[in-house]
Structure 1
């Protein structure tokens, strides 16, 4: 088992990154251009043969070697079955490499543009692509990746937040009162809804979907996991209730060209949304000692942030008790 470096990337200098690439016989001709990523360190470069690559250095002490390899195998299976995704490049029968405390992987750079959230016309194609990913994902199971469930995405984050020193003292009691109520309600709803879990992208927001010749490509499978299919769909919904209904209908019209969807899972949207909010808060809390996080999220330690979070959690408790979203008529 490899020893991993400090999770804050303090030793991941540009020189170390270049040495790591040289260890797999890849030699950048350009400099390393940092891309937007908080959890990992991701850079774009051009090599001596004028080929554009992306290198990803995984955050140490986050995923295990077995979990990273399982992610890569999933990507390879998807790519071999015709899914348009960013799959790690294989060199000497390996996709995951290790250098001085860091696991890293190499990807081809996609000449593509970001997906626009308001592009309703592309949602059918995104639905088709997700249906294909899920059809293939349902054919096997992850054994090492963290599952998406109440324990990992809600109970554990709430437990960790109880030890946080960044929550204003005046808000601790009302905050944890609402968190306890949310945990109780979401646990009940998950217990009452038996759903099939499959291998998912896991973090399928619009920034992780690129358009190349108006065809969707999926990137960043860093959070792939076992979970309900709706997890990869609800994150793409935004706006008013009618707008969300139309978006969902378009997504599912395409999705069901490739794979059956259990519409009973629509009742999991608000529980999953709530779990994502709380998990995200704990993620920032957990990473605060990384110097990049106070710079990127300075509002995290302000009273105003926690007051607004408390209100949004109260709103979620109300939403959890409302009827779930339905499809537009005629879909």
Structure 2
């Protein structure tokens, strides 16, 4: 039997945990796409289905989970479109079941926004401007910040100490990532940005488009960080296309919150840190049976050769002029 924590999260246990909150489940369980946590759609008798999210044990503390929920509740109170966890009659949004903490959500439908539509990009900018205006009002007390140590240094050290990185490529990875982190450290020091509460994982897959508005979901990774972290992942294409998208994004964004253009110098640094963090995340989760089946290519020399090649391309990008607004837009 697997010793992984999720091995004891049986259908019976899931149903019992939800029914302990006063719901009557009809036995239908659909596993939804999630690797870090376990997320299920549950049928409820005479009511609409619910979404149950069971947090990965030992990843976040109970206080950190509550802080995520409090941020969502603050956004909801400000009528910002977010899928927030349900609150029970006792005022609780996070529930304990043994080693697990779980939250319940209403089911919400929608589709991914069109990332190449400038009108859509402007709407996304307005939504993120409102988010950051609220996020800047106070700081997280328990949740960490996006930083080079966690995303870069710790990821690098873990991979260099792990067997997943082929011996033939260790030296190349070692020297390249050391040089990359030196540059990124200088970029962060020069920028001197103000950290605010952000979503921190604001890619298209975490945005639902419905009724001509964007609803952001999954605040599981919310942290303190630079505002640009929630913007750069919405830009795609060549430099000209990204510049046009950035212009539309900030046109909407600055209707609600000022943006410091100096943060644009961090875009490629943040992209590189995300790439390093992602590789280390898979390696750290390899004992979870869901990961080897979903990422079967991870333990191959080809993957690591391509990963190092991608990091080399990022190394070159870090030496180029950062993205900027079109001239005249200040």
> Normalised by the shorter chain, which TM-score bucket?
over 0.9
Partners of 1:17 and 1:207 lie apart in 2 by: 26
State whether structure 2 residue 20 is matched by structure 1 residue 23. Answer: yes
Partners of 2:34 and 2:327 lie apart in 1 by: 39
* Equivalent residue number for residue 323 of structure 1: 321
Give, in angstroms, the shift of residue 29 of structure 1. 2.2
How many aligned positions are there?
327
* Equivalent residue number for residue 33 of structure 2: 36
Q: SS in structure 2 opposite 1:31?
A: strand
- String of CA shifts for 1:240-282, please: whole Å, max 9, x gaps: 1111111111111000000000011100000000000000000
- String of CA shifts for 1:192-243, please: whole Å, max 9, x gaps: 2100000000100001000111210010000000000000000111111111
* Equivalent residue number for residue 240 of structure 2: 242
- TM-score w.r.t. structure 2 length? 0.96
Give, in angstroms, the shift of residue 329 of structure 1. 4.1
* Equivalent residue number for residue 82 of structure 1: 79
Partners of 2:243 and 2:325 within 8 A in 1:
yes
Partners of 1:269 and 1:104 lie apart in 2 by: 34
Partners of 2:109 and 2:208 within 8 A in 1:
no
Q: 2:45 aligns with which of 48, 73, 81?
A: 48
Give, in angstroms, the shift of residue 61 of structure 1. 1.1
Q: 1:109 aligns with which of 102, 107, 110?
A: 107
Q: 1:229 aligns with which of 227, 230, 234?
A: 227
* Equivalent residue number for residue 275 of structure 1: 273
Partners of 1:159 and 1:326 lie apart in 2 by: 33
Q: 2:162 aligns with which of 161, 164, 169?
A: 164
Give, in angstroms, the shift of residue 163 of structure 1. 1.1
Alignment of 1:1-331 (within 5 A): 8-29=5-26, 31-91=28-88, 92-329=90-327, 331=329
Give, in angstroms, the shift of residue 30 of structure 1. 5.2
Partners of 1:21 and 1:141 lie apart in 2 by: 32
Partners of 1:112 and 1:214 lie apart in 2 by: 10
Partners of 1:26 and 1:237 lie apart in 2 by: 42
Q: SS in structure 2 opposite 1:54?
A: strand
Higher mean displacement: 292-301 or 106-115:
106-115
Partners of 1:96 and 1:104 within 8 A in 2:
yes
Point out where structure 1 has 5 or more consecutive residues left out of the alignment.
none
Partners of 2:27 and 2:75 lie apart in 1 by: 31
Q: CA RMSD in A?
A: 1.4
Q: SS in structure 2 opposite 1:230?
A: helix
- TM-score w.r.t. structure 1 length? 0.96
- String of CA shifts for 1:34-53, please: whole Å, max 9, x gaps: 11111011111231132222
